[in-house]
Amino acid sequence: MIYIGNDHGGLELKNEVLQYIKNDLKLDITDMGCYDNSSVDYPDYAEAVCAKVLENKATGILICGTGIGISIAANKINGIRCALCHESYSAEMTKRHNDANVLALGGRVTGPELAKSIVKAFLISEFEGGRHQKRVEKITKLEK
C-alpha cells in the first residue's frame, strides 16, 4: 500500500503522480490530501501519511512546494526515513541503500514526467540489506 499526501504547493503534482500510480503502475494508493489550493500546513500531512506508513509497514509519498519542508517534518518521526529526490538514481539508491520508506517531491520544482520516473524508481527498488543494514540500524539508533 502507498499513502500520498501534500500541501497546497504540491497539489497539482500529487494529482499527476496519483493517477500515474493508479493507472500506469496499477498499485494501491490512498490519497490523504490536501484536495484543493487552500493554504495548509505541510507538517500535518507529513504526520498523517507517516503514521499510516508506520502502522501498515507501507510506503509514503509527500509533496510540498519544494519538498524540503515536508521531508524535514517527516524525518522528525521515529521510524521514518524520508528522502527528497530530484532524479531517478537517488530515488533508487535511497531505497536500495537507506531503506527509505517515504519519498518527498517538490511540486514547484519537479515536472510531472520527471516526477513519474522518480516515483517509479523508488517504488520498484528494494532494500539490499547486507552492509547497508548496519547503517540503517545506526540511523535508527540516532532516533533514541
pLDDT > 70 fraction of the chain, expressed in percent and rounded? 100
Q: What is the average per-residue pLDDT within 10-18?
A: 98
Say which residues have a Cβ less than 8 Å from residue 104's Cβ, sequence separation at least 6: 61, 62, 63, 64, 67, 68, 70, 71, 74, 82, 83, 84, 85
The mean pLDDT of 121-128, rounded to a whole number, is: 98
Predicted TM-score (pTM) of this structure: 0.98
pLDDT of residue 126: 98
Note down the domain range covering 78.
2-142
Number of domains in the chain: 1
Q: Residue 128 belongs to a domain with what CATH number? A: 3.40.1400.10
Kindly list the catalytic residues. Answer: 64, 97
